Structure 1
Amino acid sequence: MKYELPDELTVECDGPIRIVEINRPDELNAVDKNLHWALANVWRQLSADTEAAVVILTGAGRAFSAGGDLDWVTSFLDDPAARDESIREGAEIIDEMLRFPLPVIAAINGPAVGLGCSIAVLCDVVLMSEKAHLADPHVAVGLVAGDGGAAFWPLLTPILRSREYLYTGDRISASTAVELGLATRTTAPDDLLPEARRLAARLAAQPAQALRDTKRVVNMYLSQALGGPMQAGFAAEVATMQTAEHRDRLVALRKNASRQKEPTR
């Protein structure tokens, strides 16, 4: 099957296994307009691939995904139509992942931040390199964590533990992520993809209908529990996108990031 996706998201076919790679390594796989669209649309294409049985989701280079691309996100400050489209598409990503019938194994090779973190924990199995970490820094830039963290983490973690990380945006190490319930298990960095492939091969050999329907039933709990909080989260995120505090924080963050990219003399 031919996948119709931009270069920012690639699909490798290995028998019944599909390896989906977030492919902006020079930008730490930060999500820009093209990648955001691809993450919303890849799941329907994978569902239509009759030879696929299991999906591995990972990142190219040093990161899984560093979250929203700062140039793209900053453009929303003066483009409400683009901002609203990004929110609609963000909700589509989550909905498509929850409805996707095949098991998805996240192979978290490096930082998974913001939307990258939300996508990671929506997967069925989350394998993390011992050098990887999670973080949801929405609040630190004046936003509600509407695209997953505030609505989804309380279903997976003790609320008293997850609040601190959501409120501060602090990094969650791989071992702590497993302890909290945000990841399945850790691996040595070099073992991450081989272990993901071994698990994918094992799942691909399982009876297909039994596996798919088991996932469907499990995800019913998630979909039902997420209905109200997710809608409220996205609405609150849109509201905070329009605040002066968010604008100031985002502009300062982008300036700082730009300075760090400047070559030294």
Structure 2
Amino acid sequence: MSDAIILNFDGTVGWITLNRPERLNAMNRQLVDQLAAALEKAENDDSVHTIVLHGEGRAFCSGDDLKDLDAQTASEAQTRDWVNAIQNITLLIMRSKKIVIAAVHGWCVGGALEWVINCDFSLFAENTRWFFPEVGYGLFVTGGVTALLTKQVGPQVAKELMILGEKQDAQRALDLGIAWKIVPDGELLDEARHLAVLIGTRPLGAVAKIKHAINEGFHSSLDTAIARETEATISGFLSPEAQARAKAFRS
């Protein structure tokens, strides 16, 4: 079995690559567990000041791998364990001492989009397309975005994005502040490297303190949002209607 996540170190930068290109880097348990391990390893390496998260192939990440959905949500206990694993990525990103940069291209969907919102900076390639499909399946969002994104874009736009679930482009992400910058497709990783190295010249302790102060001040209800989302997401995964919709989508 090939690695679903590749971790490389380049000076003060830890590069984490989502590596299931044949599935557009869709999220399965292997990818989520290996991503958690990579984030923890980078976090515990004192030489690493910044982390860049990006996807191999034609996409950043196409969201949950619906082919694996049944195996991950066969019972309430398995479903809770799966959702908690997804939510743990949010906590690892947002509570990290390191600045986490998302370099996004191609499709960025569902739970992966929520992780991008959790990152400190998000660079979008011009070809990026993104949306929240969960409510359309009868499911629910994760990543604390019911609190984080609502505070950022306002309740009306948050409802538009999450309830209507329409596909959006990179310019819309920039307009809403989901993307920090749009860059040409071929320059995405170079731009991410430049930003990561620049941030790495700042004292790590000071950067960590300002990151946590900003996150705590702006995202004060993150834990509450995650707890609420976890219960709603588990309920959605166990819903026969949602399972039928997901099966119909992947067939």
Which residue, 213, 217, 220 being the options, matches 1:217? 213
Task: Give the deviation of 1:222 after TM superposition.
Answer: 4.7
Q: Which residue does the alignment assign to 1:50?
A: 46
Give me the whole-angstrom Cα distance separating, in 2, the residues matched to 1:62 and 1:43.
23
* Alignment pair present for 1:176 and 2:172: yes
SS of equivalent residue, structure 1 residue 31: coil
What is the identity percentage for the equivalent residue pairs of Structure 1 and Structure 2? 26
How far residue 143 of structure 1 moved from its aligned partner, in angstroms, is 0.4
Q: Deviations along 1:91-138, whole A, 9 cap, x unmatched?
A: 211111111111111100221101110111111000000110221100
1:60 maps to which residue? 56
Q: CA RMSD in A?
A: 1.6
- The one-letter amino acid paired with 1:154 is T
Amino acid corresponding to residue 168 of structure 1 in structure 2: L
Matches within 5 A, 1:125-136: 125-136=121-132
Offset, 1:43: 2.1
Q: Does 1:244 align with 2:226?
A: no
Counterpart check, 1:9 vs 2:5: yes
Aligned to 1:58, the other structure's residue is in SS state: strand
SS at match of 1:253: helix
Unaligned runs of 5+ in 1: 1-5, 256-265
Aligned partners of 1:137 and 1:166 also within 8 Å: yes
Match for residue 37 of structure 2?
Answer: 41
d(CA) in 2 for partners of 1:96, 1:24: 21
Counterpart contact for 2:93–2:118, Cα < 8 Å:
yes
Distance verdict in 2 for CA 1:253–1:178, change over 3 Å: same
Counterpart of 2:91 in structure 1 is: 95
Shift of 1:217: 0.8
1:192 is aligned to 188
Q: How many residues align?
A: 250
| TM-score, with length taken from structure 2 | 0.94
Q: Please tell me whether the aligned partners of residues 73 and 82 of structure 2 are also in contact (alpha carbons under 8 angstroms).
A: no
Deviation at residue 82 of structure 1 after TM alignment: 2.2
Question: Would the aligned equivalents of 2:103 and 2:192 in 1 still touch at CA under 8 Å?
Answer: yes
AA aligned opposite 1:226: L
Q: Give the alignment's TM-score, normalised by structure 1.
A: 0.89
**Cα distance in 1, alignment partners of residues 145 and 46 from structure 2:** 32
Determine if the alignment matches structure 1 residue 232 to structure 2 residue 228.
Answer: yes
- Determine which structure has more spread, i.e. the larger CA radius of gyration: 1
Task: Give the secondary structure class of the aligned counterpart of 1:30.
Answer: coil
- Shift in Å, 1:46: 1.0
Q: CA-to-partner distance for each residue in 1:173-211, whole Å, 9 max, x for gaps?
A: 111011111111100101111111111111111122221
Please report how far the alpha carbon of residue 242 of structure 1 lies from its aligned counterpart in structure 2 after TM superposition. Answer: 2.0
- Offset of 1:77 from its aligned partner? 4.7
Mean Cα displacement is larger for which, 27-36 or 164-173?
A: 164-173
Q: Hey, what's the Cα distance between the residues in 1 that align with 2:218 and 2:235? A: 25
The separation in 1 between residues aligned to 2:52 and 2:32, in whole angstroms, is: 18
Gaps of 5+ in 2: none
Q: CA deviation at 1:40?
A: 2.5
1:230: how far off? Answer: 1.9
Give the residue type in structure 2 aligned to 1:25: P
Do the aligned partners of 2:102 and 2:123 also contact (CA within 8 Å) in 1?
yes
Which amino acid in the other structure matches residue 201 of structure 2? A
Matched, 1:73 2:75: no
Q: Which of 157, 162, 166 lines up with 2:158 in the alignment?
A: 162
